[in-house]
DNA sequence: GTTTTTCCATTCATATATGAAAATTACAGC
DNA sequence: GCTGTAATTTTCATATATGAATGGAAAAAC
C-alpha cells in the first residue's frame, strides 16, 4: 500500500472520495453522483494507490473512512467549494438567453403548479431548457445542484438571493363525493366522526391540530401517507378530510372546502438562487416567469 | 457556446485549464504537465463547453485567457492548493520505509556529488526509489513537484523545513595539461595572458571578478558555456582556467588548483522539504543520507 | 435458523480518452 | 513575396475507463 509511482493525482478522484465519504458506501455514492458503483470503487482504489494510503475500511455495511481519510475531508471540501465557485462564476457570466436551467421545487408544487407556468415559459423562450427536480430535500444551491429553488421557508444559506413571493394559504378539503356520503362537519367536534387523512412519519398536521386545541394523535387518522401528491389524490378520491393548499382545492370542482373557523397556518413561498446567477439573462428570465406564474396562487 | 447539458464538470479539466493559463500555450502546458498537447486542447474545449464560456482566444502564438478565464484563475488556484494539501497530508502519513522520493538538485550536484550518495542509499534501503531531477529551476515543493531539494540558497517559501548543511567553497582550477602548456599564473595580473572560461548569459563570474578588482568583461573569456557540467568538462579537458567547487577540483587528479589569494565566495548548501513530509520515514531516511553524504563536500 | 436485504468485487463488451504523426494556420524576418 | 517557425487542429490506431450483469458475503429481519 504505497504509491510506487510519483505521477500526479487525478483531481476528479477527489470528487469520488468525497461522495463515498459523505454517503458511507459505494452504492450510496453511486446513487447520489450518477456514476456507477464499480467505477466509484475503482476510483477510490486508484486514489488510495496514488496517495499511498488506505482511505476506507471495507465493511459489509459500507466503507468506513480511515484516520487519513478523515484528515483529507477538509481540504477535499475546499476543493469542492472552489470548483463550485468556478462553475457559478462561469455560469454567472453567460449572456445568452438560452441554455439549461435547473429548478427545484417540492413535489406538490412541481406536480400541480409549475407545469402550466413552464409550458408558457417554453413557448416564449424555446431556447431555455428546464430541468425540474421534484424533491422535498433542499438541493444545495451553493454546489449548483440547482439554479433556482421554490421553497416553503426562508432560505438562510450564505450567498443566496431570495425573494418572498407571498404566502400559500392552507385549507381543509374533502371530495364532494365523500361529504355527500359522510356528511358535512359543522364544528370542530364533528371531525371526530370523520375519516381524517394524515401523514405517516411527519407530525406536522398533528402538531398543528394540537396547537388549535384538538386531541389529535397518530391514531386519529384513518389513512396516512407521506407523499404530498398521493395524499392529495387520496383526498380527491374521497378517502376523507385532509389539508392542502387553498388555491389548489378551490380550483378543483371535485373538492369542497370545509371552513370551521380554524385559523390554519400559511406557508411562505420563496424563490432563491445563487447571487452569481441572479443577473444571468436566462436565470433572470425563468425567475421572472416563476414569480409571475406563482403570484395567482398566493395571497 | 453554451452548456447544453447540466452535467457535473470534470474536476481534472481545471488542472489543464491552469496549466494552459500559466504557460500561455497548449504546447507549453503539455511540456510542463506531461500530458500531450492535443489532449490539453480537447480538455480546454471540453471545459469551455461545460462552463458555457469561452476561456481562451486562440492565437498563433498561443492561447490568451478571456476575462472569464481570468476570473476563474483564482478559485482554480485554490483548488490546486487544496489538492496539494491532500497529497502532502497523505504522503506525510505514510509509515513505510519504502516508496518513491523525488530529489531536486542543480545539475552540477546531481552529476558529480549525488551518484555515490544515492548508490550507498540504495544499497542500504532498496525499498526506496529515487527520482532525481537535475534542474537549476527551483521546483515547487508546495505542489509536490519535488520531495527534497538541494539548493545553493536559503529557501524562503512558506511551510518549508530547511537546513543549512554548510558551505561549498569555490576555487580556481585548470587541467594540469593546460598549465604545463600555458604556464602557471603567479598573480592576478597574469590571468590576462590566459584562456579563461566563462559563462555566456550569466554574469556571475564577471561580477565576482569585478568586485575583486579585475577588469573582466564578457570578452575577457576565451570560451563561454552556460551549462555547469559542460563548463567543468571544458576545464578538465584543458581549455583554460575556470571556477568550480573546491572539493570537486581538489579530488580530481587531472586538475590543479590555482591559488592567487583571491577570496572567492562560498555557496551555502541547503536541504529543504515540505513540513508535512519531514517526519515521513522514507523522506527522513533520504534526508539523513543526503545530509551525511554532502557533509564531506562542505566546509 | 432461514430468508431477505444490502452492500462490494469481478467480468466482459462497449464507449471514451489518449498520443503520435500529419495537416493546417498565422505571423515574423529577410 | 517567400520562407521559417511555432503554434493549433485533425486523423486514426490504441489504451483506458466505464457500466450492466453477475457473483458472493455479511449483517438484519423474520
pLDDT digits (tens, 9 = 90+) for A258-294: 999 888 889 999 999 999 999 999 999 999 999 999 9
- Compute the half-sphere exposure of residue B297: CA atoms within 13 Å on the CB side of its CA: 23
On the question of a common fold for A99-166+267-297 and A168-265, the answer reads yes
pLDDT at B3 over 60: no
Nucleotide D10 C1' to residue B120 CA (A): 50
* Stretch A249-262: mean pLDDT: 93
B80: cell is 490546486
CB contact set of B134 (below 8 Å; sequence gap of 6+): B105, B106, B107, B110, B111
Best interface-test mutation with B: which of A11, A30, A43, A47 has the largest number of B CBs within 10 A?
A11
A139: cell is 438541493
d(CA B130, CA B47): 35
A79–B11 C-beta distance less than 8 A: yes
CB contact set of B31 (below 8 Å; sequence gap of 6+): B23
Task: Tell whether A3 lies on the interface with B, counting CB pairs under 8 A.
Answer: yes
A5: cell is 509511482
- Provide, as residue numbers in chain A, all residues whose Cβ is less than 8 Å from the Cβ of B1: 96
Task: Tell whether B3 lies on the interface with A, counting CB pairs under 8 A.
Answer: yes
Task: State how far the alpha carbon of B289 is from the alpha carbons of A66, A129, B34, B123, in Å.
Answer: 32, 63, 30, 12
Nucleotide D15 C1' to residue B39 CA (A): 14
- Provide, as residue numbers in chain A, all residues whose Cβ is less than 8 Å from the Cβ of B8: 15, 33-34
Opening angle at CA B293, ends B291 and B298, nearest 5: 80
CATH superfamily of B99-167+267-297: Periplasmic binding protein-like II (3.40.190.10)
CB-CB: which of A51, A83, A96 is closest to B90? A51
Q: What is the pLDDT of residue A4?
A: 57
pLDDT digits (tens, 9 = 90+) for A21-33: 999 999 999 999 9
CATH superfamily of B169-264: Periplasmic binding protein-like II (3.40.190.10)
A110: cell is 412541481
- Provide, as residue numbers in chain B, all residues whose Cβ is less than 8 Å from the Cβ of A11: 11-12, 14-15, 79, 83
Which residue ranges make up each domain of chain A? 12-92, 99-166+267-297, 168-265
CATH among 3.30.70.260, 3.40.50.300, 3.40.190.10, 3.40.50.2300 for A168-265: 3.40.190.10
B72–A90 C-beta distance less than 8 A: yes
SS3 content of chain A, % helix, strand, coil (to 5): 45, 20, 35
CATH among 1.20.1050.10, 3.40.190.10, 3.40.50.1000, 3.40.30.10 for A99-166+267-297: 3.40.190.10
CA A95 to chain B, closest CA, distance in angstroms equals 9
B86–A72 C-beta distance less than 8 A: yes
Task: Tell whether A68 lies on the interface with B, counting CB pairs under 8 A.
Answer: yes
Task: Tell whether A53 lies on the interface with B, counting CB pairs under 8 A.
Answer: yes
pLDDT at B62 over 70: yes
CA B29 to chain A, closest CA, distance in angstroms equals 14
CA B254, distance to chain mean position in Å, is: 28
- Provide, as residue numbers in chain B, all residues whose Cβ is less than 8 Å from the Cβ of A9: 83, 86-87
Residue of A nearest to B69 (CA): A90
b vs e for B51-85, b when ≥16 Cβ sit within 10 Å of the residue's Cβ?
A: bbbebbeeeeebbebbebbebbeebbebbbbbbbb
CB-CB: which of B67, B89, B102 is closest to A72? B89
A99–B2 C-beta distance less than 8 A: yes
Q: What is the pLDDT of residue A262?
A: 86
- What long-range pairs does B79-83 form, CB within 8 A, spacing at least 24? B79/A11, B79/A79, B79/A82, B79/A83, B79/A86, B79/B11, B79/B14, B80/B14, B80/B15, B80/B18, B80/B143, B81/B142, B82/A75, B82/A76, B82/A78, B82/A79, B82/A82, B83/A9, B83/A11, B83/A14, B83/A75, B83/A79
Task: Tell whether A277 lies on the interface with B, counting CB pairs under 8 A.
Answer: no
B82 falls in which pLDDT band (50, 70, 90)? very high
pLDDT digits (tens, 9 = 90+) for A42-99: 999 999 999 999 999 988 888 999 999 999 999 999 999 999 999 999 999 999 899 8
B89–A75 C-beta distance less than 8 A: yes
* Stretch B46-56: mean pLDDT: 93
d(CA A150, CA A103): 8
Nucleotide D2 C1' to residue B69 CA (A): 38
Percentage, residues of chain B above pLDDT 90: 71
- Provide, as residue numbers in chain B, all residues whose Cβ is less than 8 Å from the Cβ of A6: 100, 102, 131
In CATH, the architecture of B12-92 is: Orthogonal Bundle (1.10)
pLDDT at A216 over 90: no
pLDDT digits (tens, 9 = 90+) for B226-247: 788 999 999 999 999 999 999 9
pLDDT at A116 over 90: yes
pLDDT at A36 over 50: yes
Amino acid at each position: 500500500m504505497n504509491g510506487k509511482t510519483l505521477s500526479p493525482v487525478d483531481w476528479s478522484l477527489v470528487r469520488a472520495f468525497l461522495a463515498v465519504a459523505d454517503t458511507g458506501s459505494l452504492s450510496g455514492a453511486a446513487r447520489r453522483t450518477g456514476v456507477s458503483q464499480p467505477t466509484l470503487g475503482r476510483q477510490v482504489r486508484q486514489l488510495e494507490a496514488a496517495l499511498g494510503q488506505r482511505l476506507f475500511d471495507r465493511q459489509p455495511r459500507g466503507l468506513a473512512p480511515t484516520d487519513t481519510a478523515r484528515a483529507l475531508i477538509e481540504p477535499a471540501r475546499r476543493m469542492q467549494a472552489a470548483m463550485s465557485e468556478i462553475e457559478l462564476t462561469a455560469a454567472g457570466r453567460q449572456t445568452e438567453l438560452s441554455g439549461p436551467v435547473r429548478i427545484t421545487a417540492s413535489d406538490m408544487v412541481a406536480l400541480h403548479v409549475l407545469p402550466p407556468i413552464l409550458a408558457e415559459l417554453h413557448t416564449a423562450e424555446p431556447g431555455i431548457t428546464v430541468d425540474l427536480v421534484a424533491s422535498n430535500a433542499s438541493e444545495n444551491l451553493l454546489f449548483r445542484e440547482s439554479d433556482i429553488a421554490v421553497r416553503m421557508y426562508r432560505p438562510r444559506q450564505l450567498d443566496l438571493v431570495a425573494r418572498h413571493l407571498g404566502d400559500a394559504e392552507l385549507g381543509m378539503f374533502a371530495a364532494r363525493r365523500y361529504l355527500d356520503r359522510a356528511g358535512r362537519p359543522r364544528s370542530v367536534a364533528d371531525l371526530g366522526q370523520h375519516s381524517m387523512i394524515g401523514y405517516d412519519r411527519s407530525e406536522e398536521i398533528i402538531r398543528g391540530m394540537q396547537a388549535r386545541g384538538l386531541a389529535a394523535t397518530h391514531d386519529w387518522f384513518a389513512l396516512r401517507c407521506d407523499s404530498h401528491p398521493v395524499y392529495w389524490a387520496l383526498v380527491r378520491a374521497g378517502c376523507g378530510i385532509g389539508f392542502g393548499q387553498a388555491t389548489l382545492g378551490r380550483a378543483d370542482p371535485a373538492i369542497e372546502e370545509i371552513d370551521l373557523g380554524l385559523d390554519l397556518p400559511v406557508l411562505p413561498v420563496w424563490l432563491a438562487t445563487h447571487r452569481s446567477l441572479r443577473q444571468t439573462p436566462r436565470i433572470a428570465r425563468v425567475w421572472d416567469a416563476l414569480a409571475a406564474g406563482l403570484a395567482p396562487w398566493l395571497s
